[in-house]
Structure 1
Amino acid sequence: MFIGRKEELDFLEAAYASQKAELVVLYGRRRIGKTETLHAFCKEKPHSFYTCTEYTDLQQLRAFSSRILTQQHPAAAYVDTFADWEQAFSAITQLPGTEKKLLIIDEFPYMVKNNHGIPSTLQKLWDQQLKEENVMIVLCGSAMAFIEKEILAEKNPLYGRATGILKMKELDFYEAIQFFPHFSPESQVTAYGILGGIPHYLKQFDDRLTLEENILKHIFTRGSILYSEIEFLLRQELRETTVYNTIIEAIALGNTGLNGIHQKTQIDKSKLSVYLKNLLDLHIIYREFPTVSSPKDQANVQRGLYQLSDHYFRFWYAFVFPYFSELEAGSGHQIYQQVVAPSLNDFVSKSFEKACLSYLRHLNKSNRLPFTFVRAGRWWHKDQEIDLLAFDLDRQRWLLGECKYRNQPMTLSNFLQLQQKGSSATAGKAVSPENVCYYLFSKNGFSEDLIRMSQNTPHLHLIDLPQLLNHSPAP
């Protein structure tokens, strides 16, 4: 069953329905669901769908020609392989039917790898012919750095030719939990905390089993897809995997500042910066800044925190990588009981913040907040931290949020502490108290005194787990 991706499908459908030629670049990290989304998009349409493999250029041309010529193409009566790539790409205009001619080239970087002239050929053909035809070409790829630097960047042949550029991101919280309709609310949040929004990972869990059974069977068992997934991905993208493993593990364990990563890994800072840049280019990590930070702050390489983009990377480096020898020996059950179970709530708490932010963004999109915010995220300064902070365009109205994923109810003191931290975050900004609202999210409900206060405080909103999940804020 195909889940989610409404915005992406709407974007592609709009391009297909347009009255002009379309050249769309769709890209995103591996396992994000690009191919499944494209198959869902073209399911009811006449189309040519070609998936590139790591062939030689001649083999690639033959395979591509075969795919086009088997579509009842008139040239099939005369040739079995086009003479060159210009003829091959041009042939899409002669496919039968009156609908828009739809060509999807999946893993386009593999095609370019052994023929660097293909983007130039396609650019020339687009300028001279295809842009005036009733065609839609989708170039898809997983090599994100290659797509951004070699296809979309200025001075490259296809620069400025794309009529649409769609970077696919992971599913949001509400889409991800649709994979687990039989899980309890707590198990849904925990599964999201472990797997994130990567469809390929979400499909591995079986919601007829418990979370423990899923982790033991689908993560801690040799031969399972998730057991070796991270190692496989890194070897495809990087060479010095031992160095990158050391850096990623340090970040996963909470060493997120540049100095902290340096101290943990003992890698020379100049070299470390290069390794971190490579991980940033591959979107394995990202730099996080306090919500109120300025562009000047964000340009400072010494500032910001390096965070893992993928929930499962965090889980794998926290609970698989450090215990690889024991897992290889078949001690998965012991590792789960002694290491995972006692710390799973703390681990999931970071992902719980993202789920709560997703809730607020849905409310914001449908105009169901006290105001419309333009920026939202975390805030921190020295030893103070606010889980969620958002503000409007003029920075006159603010939203402060606290997220607690623990087995005890959230208390009134938690709210009072948030108010104090909010005063620090808004200091010097002349924010009126009536222009600040509070959203408190709790896994295990709220204390009676906090509930009583919320009943007499219109700007205080309490969201427990059933409300977060069962009352989806999607418009």
Structure 2
Amino acid sequence: MQPKPPEIFARDDEWQYLAKFAERTGTRPKLGVVSGRRRQGKTFLLVSLAQQSGAFYFSATQATERDSLTLFSAALAEHLGTSAPFSFDSWDAAIKQLFAIFAERRELVVIDEFPYLSKVSPALPSIIQREIDRAVSTNAPVSLLLCGSVMSVMGRLLAGNAPLRGRAVLEMVLRPFDFRLAADYWGTTDRRLAAMTHAIVGGTPAYLPFVEGDVCEGLGDFDDWVRRTVLNPNKTLFREARYLLGEQVEARDTAMYQSVLAAVATGNCTRGAIASHVGRKVTDIGHYLNVLEDCHLLRREPDVFRPSRSVFRVCEPLIHDVSDTVLTCYSGVGFDGSLAREGDVRAVGLAQLYG
């Protein structure tokens, strides 16, 4: 099994499962699906795995089907070291050739940002299903990993009557670090400060480089740190909540999703309370709640006082912060670019810590 590179923080279990999946053993095809919201380190993990195992790695882009096929053909030719590039006129031809080549080479195939491809080529999952089934009947040992960040799309790949349902042997969701891992990652030894930091930025690995080394130096620096990072209109984290939502949901309904998240963040946690807050009937918000759950932006929990009911919680602290504090104190962060008031900053941390 390939050893985990030292530059990868934590993710020991994830690496173990991925490295085992990449091993060239057996005579049957293997399909794996890796998903998770952006900035959790999926691509970093998969690129490291590909480099160590000699896998073919292809990262899709937002492009037309023809352009995607051209990019795929060039990447495949480069990996194989062929002088002449491949020329595929359809994904049907491309996937057939891909399975034929790697059944012989017994190398792992990684396709990253798969939702970009399936969006413009809806038949692609069905094509992959057909080739996997053929590989099963011929004992062709092809190992294919599909990866993506659009949780609503990745979740449907293996659900219900989807073509790939029942074909995957690995289904991994990369989640943010928990409280203890996040404290180690941020280099915070003070438990109270670690809890307050986690309440603001959670455990998403990419947020540390986003602040460019500006780590909170102590409890006395906490308010200033939040103001100069999360609540600073000139910093990336200030708009991160908006970007997270925009990447996961249909553009035409963004306002409703924002309203649903804001309702939950401000304490309206039951279906009835959420519907009342957004001015809709309870039956009208079911779709929005389901999508936000699929995207891991909301989670459903049983109501401890009423077992027959459930309540909703915001999963991502940054979304909770923006909905609960920034929107209600927006004059504090100002359209003129001024920063939030100290009392507003402290309210964010306390609200997140003590609920």
**Normalising by the residue count of structure 1, what TM-score does the alignment of the two structures yield?**
0.65
1:104 CA drift (Å): 0.9
Task: Quote the offset at 1:349 in angstroms.
Answer: 2.8
1:217 to 1:63, Cα distance in 2 relative to 1, 3 A:
same
Q: Name the counterpart of 1:319.
A: 325
AA in 2 matched with 1:22: K
What is the distance in 2 between the residues matched to 1:66 and 1:154? 35
Quote the residue 1:24 is aligned against: 32
Which of 172, 176, 183 in structure 1 is aligned with 2:182? Answer: 176
The answer for the alignment partner of 2:129 in structure 1 is 123
Deviation at 1:33, TM superposition (A): 2.3
2:117 to 111, 124, 129: 111
- Candidates 71, 78, 85, aligned match of 1:63: 71
In 2, Cα distance between the equivalents of 1:257 and 1:96?
A: 51
Conservation of the 8 A alpha-carbon contact between 1:3 and 1:175: no
Partner of 2:300: 287
Aligned pairs for 1:173-322 (under 5 A) are 173-182=179-188, 184-205=190-211, 206-207=214-215, 209=217, 210-236=221-247, 237-238=249-250, 239-290=252-303, 297=308, 303-322=309-328
The alpha carbon displacement at 1:285 in A equals: 1.1
SS at match of 1:71: helix
> SS at the partner of 2:167?
coil
Of structures 1 and 2, the one scoring higher in RCO (CA 8 A, sep 6+) is 2
What is the correspondence of 1:155-174 to structure 2 with a 5 Å cutoff? 155-174=161-180
Kindly indicate whether residue 131 of structure 2 is the aligned counterpart of residue 91 of structure 1. no
Write the distance in 2 (CA, Å) between the matches of 1:274 and 1:56: 29
Gap change, CA 1:349 and 1:37, over 3 Å in 2: farther
Shift of 1:18: 5.8
Structure 1 match to 2:17: 11
Any conservation in 2 of the 1:183–1:207 contact (CA below 8 Å)? no
Once residues 119 and 170 of structure 2 are traced to their aligned partners in structure 1, the CA distance between those partners, rounded to angstroms, is: 23
Change (3 A) 1:251 1:293: closer
Alignment partner, residue 344 of structure 2: 339
Equivalent pair of 1:16/1:22 in contact (CA under 8 Å): no
Task: Name the SS of the counterpart of 1:322 in structure 2.
Answer: coil
Change (3 A) 1:227 1:48: same
Percent identity for Structure 1 against Structure 2: 24
Structure index of larger Rg: 1
The structural deviation recorded for 1:248 is: 1.4
Aligned equivalent of 2:143, options 126, 136, 147: 136
Report the Cα distance in structure 2 between the residues aligned to 1:166 and 1:83, rounded to whole angstroms: 32
Q: Which moved more, 1:104-113 or 1:219-228?
A: 219-228
Give, in angstroms, the shift of residue 116 of structure 1.
1.5
Q: For residue 371 of structure 1, what is the aligned residue in structure 2?
A: none
Q: Pick from 36, 41, 55: which aligns with 1:47?
A: 55
Paired residues of 2:317 and 2:352 also in contact (CA < 8 A) = no
Report if the CA contact (8 A) 2:155-2:294 is conserved: no
CA displacement 1:351-400 (0-9 Å, x = unmatched)? xxxxxxxxxxxxxxxxxxxxxxxxxxxxxxxxxxxxxxxxxxxxxxxxxx
Q: Distance in 2 between matches of 1:44 and 1:321?
A: 46
Higher relative strand content: 1
Is the alpha carbon distance of 1:88 and 1:284 closer, same or farther for their aligned partners in structure 2, counting shifts above 3 Å? same
* Cα pair 2:113 2:148 within 8 Å, conserved: yes
The DSSP-based 3-state class of the residue aligned with 1:171 is coil
CA drift at 1:11? 0.9
8 A contact 2:227–2:345 mirrored in 1: no
* SS of equivalent residue, structure 2 residue 353: helix
Where structure 1 has 5 or more consecutive residues not aligned to the other structure, the ranges are 298-302, 351-475
Distance 1:292 1:26 in 2: 36
| Equivalent AA in structure 2 for residue 164 of structure 1 | L
CA distance in 2, matches of 1:168, 1:292: 32
Q: Structure 1 stretch 87-96 or stretch 134-143: which is displaced more?
A: 87-96
Q: What amino acid is aligned across from residue 35 of structure 1 in structure 2?
A: T
Alignment of 1:362-377 (within 5 A): none
1-structure distance, mates of 2:13, 2:225: 30
Instruction: Report the Cα distance in structure 1 between the residues aligned to 2:206 and 2:132, rounded to whole angstroms.
Output: 34
Query: How well do the aligned residues superpose, as a CA RMSD in angstroms?
Result: 2.7
Question: Which residue matches 2:4?
Answer: none
